[in-house]
Amino acid sequence: MRFTVRRHHGATVVGVFGQLDTANTAYLSEVLIPFLRVRGGLVIDLEALQYCSVTGLEFFISFDRRCRKARCPWALVPGASLHGLLRLSGGILPVAESLDEAAHLLDAAGSRRPTLRIAT
């Protein structure tokens, strides 16, 4: 498994390449957790992922909980390897069909988050 990191319309995009299964979900977690603190939200681009097991789907469901707890808006851009598995998730993951759609979802999520106002 390998990764790329780039910016797209203000969001951090982590591209995941290779295969995602039981053997490497812990590694993926180590790579992604530091990005929970980025400004502009996080997009995980899986378009080039060749294979994703049910364990990989379980990882993303757990990761969604971590993102919510950290108040980090995120979106998943699935590739062909995930479309079938995503039907099993019942629509609970923030899925976008493209990087542009993901950026739009993150913009909308950011506008709904409360902001702290400091009186002077």
Per-residue confidence band for 66, with pLDDT thresholds at 50, 70 and 90: very high
Contact 82, 49 (CB under 8 A): yes
Range of the domain at 108: 2-112
Per-residue confidence band for 27, with pLDDT thresholds at 50, 70 and 90: very high
Over 50: is that where the pLDDT of 116 sits? no
Per-residue confidence band for 110, with pLDDT thresholds at 50, 70 and 90: low
| Per-residue confidence (pLDDT) for residue 70, from 0 to 100 | 93
Flag whether 117 is in a domain: no
Number of structural domains in the chain: 1
What is the rounded distance in angstroms from the CA atom of residue 32 to the CA atom of residue 13? 11
Flag whether 67 is in a domain: yes
Number of neighbouring beta carbons within 10 Å of residue 111: 8
Rounded to two decimals, what is the model's pTM? 0.85
What is the rounded distance in angstroms from the CA atom of residue 41 to the CA atom of residue 102? 10
Q: Which residue has the higher pLDDT, 89 or 35?
A: 35
Residues 8-25: tens digit of each pLDDT: 998 999 999 999 999 999
Flag whether 120 is in a domain: no
Flag whether 91 is in a domain: yes
CATH of the domain at 49: 3.30.750.24
Flag whether 118 is in a domain: no
Residue type, 62: S
What is the rounded distance in angstroms from the CA atom of residue 74 to the CA atom of residue 72? 6
